[in-house]
Amino acid sequence: MKNIVSKWLFSGPPKQVLKIEGTCLKCGSCCEHINICEEGKWVKQKSHFKQIVVEKPSYARFQITGKNDKGTLNFKCSWLNPDNTCKDYKNRMDLCKTFPDKMAIMGDGILPETCGYTFSVHHSFDAVLKKTVRRRKFRDQWQAIRNFFNIKNWFSRVDE
């Protein structure tokens, strides 16, 4: 029982932080393998995509190319020139400006092989610190409870 309670109180991974490094190599792969997340939901249905295009006509530049293993639609941008540059780089979409997006990487964990960016996952110092403090507090409380019951049992044995 002690091990189960200890595992419950003192286990579990701390939160993680994603670190992105590198620069764009202008390979165009990010424009050929796009997943779209709108309002916190990955686009998985053509009907959902059509609804987005009605609300945001600029999304019409994306063409559906299939689905990934998770059922999310894959897209390709029709504004990609043969030399892997954007037809209107100055006015490109926010989706393009923020690449590589941390949410997309955490959702799929994939960057194109030819991409100049890399990512690594690190434990957040704040999360580790909070978890350490919380674990010590629980450990101290648990020890106090154990000590209380051990002392109570000792007194009950003396009275017998």
**Contact 135/2 with Cβ under 8 angstroms?**
no
Predicted TM-score of the model (pTM): 0.60
State CA 111 to chain mean position distance.
Answer: 14
Say whether both 108 and 74 belong to one domain: yes
Domain co-membership, 102 together with 144: no
- The amino acid at residue 25 is L
So what's the pLDDT on residue 1?
41
Would you place residue 7 in the very low, low, confident or very high pLDDT band (cuts 50, 70, 90)?
Answer: low
Q: Is residue 159 part of a domain?
A: no
Q: Is residue 42 part of a domain?
A: yes
Does 64 have pLDDT greater than 90? yes
What count of residues does the chain have?
160
Per the domain annotation, does 160 fall within a domain?
no
Q: Record the tokens describing residue 40, joined without a space.
A: 């916190």
Which pLDDT band, with edges at 50, 70 and 90, does 47 fall under? very high
Tokens of 139: 């450990």
In percent, the amount of the chain with pLDDT more than 90 equals: 22
Q: Can you give the pLDDT at residue 155? A: 53
pLDDT value of position 107: 54
Q: Do 108 and 140 sit in the same domain of this protein?
A: no
Q: Between 125-159 and 2-10, two packed helices, what is the crossing angle to 10 degrees?
A: 150
Range of the domain at 1: 1-17+124-154
Domain count, the chain: 2
Q: What number is the average pLDDT over the span 77-94? A: 90
End-to-end Cα, the chain, rounded Å: 28
Cβ atoms within 10 Å, residue 125:
10
> Residue holding tokens 């609300």?
55
pLDDT at 152 over 70: no
- Does 30 share its domain with 96? yes
Round to whole Å and give the CA distance between 125 and 108. Answer: 24
- Element of type H or E holding 66: strand 62-67
What pLDDT does residue 81 have?
92
